[in-house]
Amino acid sequence: MASKVGIIVVVLAIASIYGAMAVFHTISESHRSAALELFSPVTGSFSSLEEAYEALRTLEVLGIKKKPDVKDHTCKSVVDTLSSVSSNSKDLYHALQVNGLLTCTISKGALTDVVSRLKEAVKDATSLLDYYHSVGGLLLVKHQNSEVDVILENADGILRSIKALSQSDGRWRYSSNNPESSTYAAGLAFETISGVISLAASPVDENLIGTLKKDIVKLFDSIEKYDDGSYYFDDKHIDASGHQGLLSATSAVVRGLTKFASTSESLNIPEDKILGLARFFLGVGVPGNSKDLYYQIDALSHLENNRVSVPLILSLPATVLSLTCKDKLKVKVSTVLGSTAPPLSVKLMQVFSSGSKDASVLRQELHFDPKEAIYTLDALPEGVDIGEYIFAFEIVLSDPEHKRKFATGGRTKVPVHVTGVVKVDNAKVAVLEGDIVESEKKLVLPGKNDLSLSANHLQKLQLSFVLTTPSGKPFKPHQAFLKLRHETGVEHIFIVGNSGKHFEITLDFLGLVEKFYYLSGQYDTVLTVGDAVMENSFLQPLGSIELDLPKAPEKAPQPPPQAVNPYSRYGPKAEIAHIFRAPEKRPPQEVSFAFLGLVLVPFLGFLVGLLRLGVNLKNFPTSPVPATFAILFHGGIAAVLLLYAFFWLKLDLFTTLKTLGVIGIFLMFVGHRTLSHLASASAKLKSA
């Protein structure tokens, strides 16, 4: 029980710390497992080429080799889309995206026809999305087949048409008819512009490029920031695919920024914002839907390799270190996708104690293990005891040239939990009469105790103990309280105060008689001491104390009603004893058989009467139609008799009456036809 309480306290405290300062981890196996689950085609194929590209792109970036076997079906859809005259520039764009990943068999002539249609789409474009899909499609063809001419002759004019949709704050409009600006549209615009620059027949106007760079700087002026150092772009509009959220807007800007930077130099974006964008996508964790997962992985893949600044992520494989187990401080530095970082060193610069602004300056360098690619500090800094700390690290790149390429973000602060075994000494409990000790017993904490004390309302109960850390310093846990539980279920909880390392609580029963509701009898005592860094947190029963309190006056408060255990109704119930009525006495078997014989006598008389009357089938119709009605008539009579038998055995009255009504109508019809035929035959016979 004590170990369970300790675990609960540790988890709650760690959660409170991590809520204030996030710990970022690079892409892990959890992302790969989620991708395989979210991008698994239900019907054996993807619903659209856009969905197929997002799935294949995500799986490729994550390095997943076991991909869905959808190439044949998807390639057929790609070929059909590219050859269809009804396909618009968006359809062609998504088909070319998928083709870039699957390398479907497409002839040069087919691509040439696609390029001509895309160039026409560029000329006729009236919105940002028209430019985005048509220019993007031409750029994809350029990468897939270098023999096809995709050059744009009027690149400056196209750029100015796109630039006309920009706003003063760095955002962009989707069309000239739409006055609302969008961050997501800005990302699409920069990506489209980079494509136009790549496809231009001649160098683009440098003044126009400089203006576009200023637009990017303006856009980054509107970037928003979380307390953990992560940056993101917000967008109140829905993106081109109808998916709304921070991930889509921020991912679009990252993709547009990195692609624009690949075609232009000297793009001045602060490295802390690039690193903050990476932290935003990593801080999301594992998204729960395929669209968000694609946005996250696609953005991280562009941050992984870009010409602006490649972010390096510092993370701790374990942020809880045990002094008992002599855990080592380990640090890992890698890119956002987990690739190996360039040569560098990691230094522990400062250690902040929780709740204190003072910090010890260390500048201690960690040892690098090339096999595991881990930086290790063999021993914790001097003075670090059990508690909550913030470790400040600094990444120093070995090659000065790498400072232009990689973003380290200065000092990185990480919360660290140092745990250990807290020593409990001088634990004792005593019953006092005034200031005189009437009885005193020592306690083993944590350990088994079985106290049996007694006291009256004129006495006091005193509990005391000493808590120290492994280094002998005073220790104050998050929780330290004493609980007294009466035999009726009424509980009383008291906080144990401290002065330095000494903890003590004194219960003066004379002042507590009203709080105890004047309830005399046995009270079970339980001591709880717990903390996040205390490996031996405990909830320890101490024993019981017999209290003799005065009788309650007339207007004394009554103890509160005790809550009913909700699980008590699922417990065993009292056995139900059924009393059955004794069966009535039945007549002898001979009497029953005699009664059966009497019941059958009328039926035998009926048969004898038929024989005496000379009943025969001479008048039974011989013609086919009358014979059929006669057979149906006799069958209906038999059905009525059978229905009576079923009524006797199992049917209820209402079912029998409904069925009898149907059969009766049927009998009236066929009986009337049968009797009409007999009457007609009889009349003919008489006339003859």
pTM for the full model? Answer: 0.72
**579 against 170, higher pLDDT:** 170
Q: Do residues 304 and 310 lie in contact, with contact meaning Cβ atoms separated by under 8 Å?
A: yes
pLDDT in tens, 510-535: 999 999 999 999 999 999 999 999 99
Say yes or no to pLDDT of 562 above 90: no
Least confident of 193-197, 264-268, 642-646: 264-268
Percent of the chain with pLDDT over 90: 60
Q: Which of 385, 388, 329, 322 is nearest to 356 (CA)?
A: 388
Q: How large is the average pLDDT for residues 35-56?
A: 90
Q: Where is mean pLDDT largest: 261-270, 326-335, 353-362, 602-611?
A: 326-335
Q: Which amino acid does the sequence have at 158?
A: I
State residue 19's pLDDT score: 38
- CA separation, residue 353 to residues 278, 378, 384, 450 (Å): 28, 20, 9, 39
Q: How large is the average pLDDT for residues 82-89?
A: 93
Dump the DSSP string for 633-682: HHHHHHHHHHHHHHHHHT--HHHHHHHHHHHHHHHHHHHHHHHHHHHHHH
645 φ/ψ angles, rounded to the nearest 5 degrees: -65, -40
State residue 237's pLDDT score: 59
State residue 53's pLDDT score: 95
Strand order from edge to edge, sheet including 320-322: 320-322, 411-419, 387-397, 344-353, 359-365
Question: How confident is residue 577, by pLDDT bands cut at 50, 70 and 90?
Answer: confident
State residue 9's pLDDT score: 39
Q: Do residues 9 and 478 lie in contact, with contact meaning Cβ atoms separated by under 8 Å?
A: yes
State residue 244's pLDDT score: 60
Say yes or no to pLDDT of 25 above 50: yes
Helix ranges (DSSP H) in 125-205: 128-144, 155-163, 183-199
How far from chain centre, in Å, is Cα 38? 13
- Local structure of 171: helix, strand or coil: coil
Tokens for 599, please give them.
């019941």
- Local structure of 570: helix, strand or coil: helix
State residue 6's pLDDT score: 42
**605 against 360, higher pLDDT:** 605
Say yes or no to pLDDT of 75 above 50: yes
Say yes or no to pLDDT of 354 above 80: no
Say yes or no to pLDDT of 89 above 90: yes
Instruction: Find the Cα–Cα–Cα–Cα dihedral 5, 8, 10, 11, rounded to 10°.
Output: 170
pLDDT in tens, 206-263: 898 999 999 999 999 989 999 888 999 988 655 455 556 789 999 999 999 999 999 8
Q: How large is the average pLDDT for residues 637-654?
A: 88
